[in-house]
Amino acid sequence: MNRSERESLIAVARGDQLADVVLRGGKILNVFTGETTVADIAICEGMIAGIGGYDGETVIDLGGQFVLPGFVDAHVHIESAMVTPPEYARAVVPRGTSAVVADPHEIANVLGVPGVEFMLRTSRNLPLDVHIMASPCVPATHMETSGAVLSPQDVQRLLKTDGVLGLAEVMNFPGVIDGAPDMMAKLQIAEGRVRDGHAPGVTGRALQAYLAAGIGSDHECTTADEALEKVRAGAYVMIREGTAAKNLEALAVAVSAENHHRFLFCTDDRHPADLLEEGHIDFLVCRAIQLGIKPLHAIRMATINAAQYFGLERMGAVSPGRFADLITCDSLDAPQIHQVFRRGTLVAENGKLLVDLPRPDSSALPSDFAVPALNADLFSVPAKAGKIRVIEACDGQIITGTQRLEPTLADACAIADSARDLAKLAVIERHHGSEAVGLGFVTGLRLAEGALASSVAHDSHNLVVAGMNDQDMALAAERVAALGGGLVAVRDGEVLAELALPIAGLMSDLPLPVVRDQVAHLKAVSRELGSTTADPYMLLSFLALPVIPELKLTDQGLVDVDAFEIVPLFSS
């Protein structure tokens, strides 16, 4: 805001100058006091000048609707919606979301700083504030091969970039707790800036050490006890309800009148169908209320709490000096969003976006896949003595368990076995042509035949394939590579369904509804292949993430996350 704009804002607030816009007849929820007041909202230059009795050049009658500040998603990876920021905005803005705090570490792991710059560039001039965080853990660990590395100097450069708010989730929690030099350097660079956390299952002295490093939040809690321990230690807890990880029901009981100001809402990773059909933060607010959180508390968790944690002083409340990013709804008990105002302009109504969005140009981004010859031999697992370590996938969660099972053998090789819900799993390095391939087995995908493959494989986003025979796995991987990235389903040597993700192997350049429909077809085909999981591709994408317990697979091999080391497939 420049001096002239400030003077005009003050003049409107005094009543000496007509407002640009007055919103009249709304019941304004005060998130500071919990009161509801019927009053005018005077808007000047996109800012709220005053609440009371005002006149304006334009007067909009809200017809008795409740007026709330726009919602804030406290932690999201936009790339996980598989669309670009404009298409993402098309989905979430009509749902009442005014701002998101985005960690672009998905594309950073593939393309590095140019990928982050692409997200920054394509997030401008939207009816949505996209606050980018600088990703400190690219790659997340030393036990995987990413497409790029963000050095402390890269993080420092990003933190100096307009639009970058602070340090994104510090995923290498063992490195922080142990005082690893690289992590210490990145935390020091971000001194004085907000620093997000990632500490699944971290408790006791390890938690104290992690927070002592200056970490301010965590979004990985899965139990109420874990959340309360972190809140008691001074952290903000972001309650996550995404597509793969759904923690709201388990954590709602931790929220009370005394501590709700330390809780925020986030989606982390949410697929197109959930965004379009369930919703965004509006869905979390309604669900939280259903689970017993008071409406006022749930709304605060979606608005002012996030604004205060991130230092977004112009957001989070309907009050003078803040952005006129407002939403209206009929009820506070189950808020259904009616109108969405962006800087005082109506941008969405009854679920429909009313403004045009730019189509980003991604032509300058590289899209080559550097993978080895993808034939069935690549996926062969010669038998050895002992049992095999098996990843136990958990539907609705991104954590996994560990099993030790006798392998099913054929021709002196360990193979998949549908009778035991045992699928073969492979992660193929796709960035540098190293020909590194990690092989393992997984239960919980519930495949009976065929293969699924994806270039979305958190966080290094190598090529992940799960299947019941090596030939179909090879074809599925080959087709993903030919698409320049994407999701594929194969059975008996035939590609049954696919979605191309040509932008870094993570995002489509198609409209969100089209992507939603193609993903729905892939999920339907996966059910034909036997999988009864809610979203097998989202579940598959997290089996390669070596910072979420308990057992994961990268291109370097099986990772015991608790021990933070690579372990052999066969165990005596």
CA 149/CA 112 separation, integer angstroms? 6
Report CA-CA distances (Å) from 54 to 15, 18, 37, 45, 70.
7, 8, 15, 15, 22
User: In sequence order, what are the beta bridge partners of 218?
Assistant: 237
The proportion of the chain whose per-residue pLDDT surpasses 90, expressed as a percent, equals 94
Phi, psi of 495 (to 5 degrees): -80, 120
The proportion of the chain whose per-residue pLDDT surpasses 70, expressed as a percent, equals 100
Q: What is the full DSSP assignment across 57-102?
A: EEEEE-TT-EEEEPEEEEEE-GGGGTS-HHHHHHHHGGGTEEEEEE
Phi, psi of 224 (to 5 degrees): -65, -40
Tell me which CATH homologous superfamily contains domain 3-64. Urease, subunit C, domain 1 (2.30.40.10)
CA 424/CA 469 separation, integer angstroms? 8
Q: Is the peptide bond between 550 and the residue preceding it cis, with omega within 30 degrees of 0?
A: yes
What is the total residue count of the chain?
A: 572
Helix H or strand E encompassing 490:
strand 486-491
Non-local CB neighbours of 493 within 8 Å, separated by 6+ positions: 471, 472, 475
Q: List pLDDT tens digits, range 475-485.
A: 999 999 999 99
Q: List pLDDT tens digits, range 137-165.
A: 999 899 999 999 999 999 999 999 999 99
Bridging pattern class, strands 36-44 and 494-500: unpaired
Give me the mean pLDDT over the 231-249 stretch. Answer: 95
Q: What is the full DSSP assignment across 411-436?
A: TTEEE-BGGGTBEEEEEE--SS----
Q: List pLDDT tens digits, range 315-329.
A: 999 999 999 999 999
Q: Please check the confidence at residue 367 and state whether its pLDDT lies above 90.
A: no
Instruction: Say if pTM beats, i.e. exceeds, 0.85.
Output: yes
The correct CATH number of 70-309 out of 2.40.50.140, 3.30.360.10, 3.20.20.140, 3.40.190.10 is: 3.20.20.140
What would the two tokens of residue 78 be? Answer: 């936009």
CA 524/CA 257 separation, integer angstroms? 43
In the chain, list all ranges with CATH 3.20.20.140. 70-309
In the chain, list all ranges with CATH 2.30.40.10. 3-64
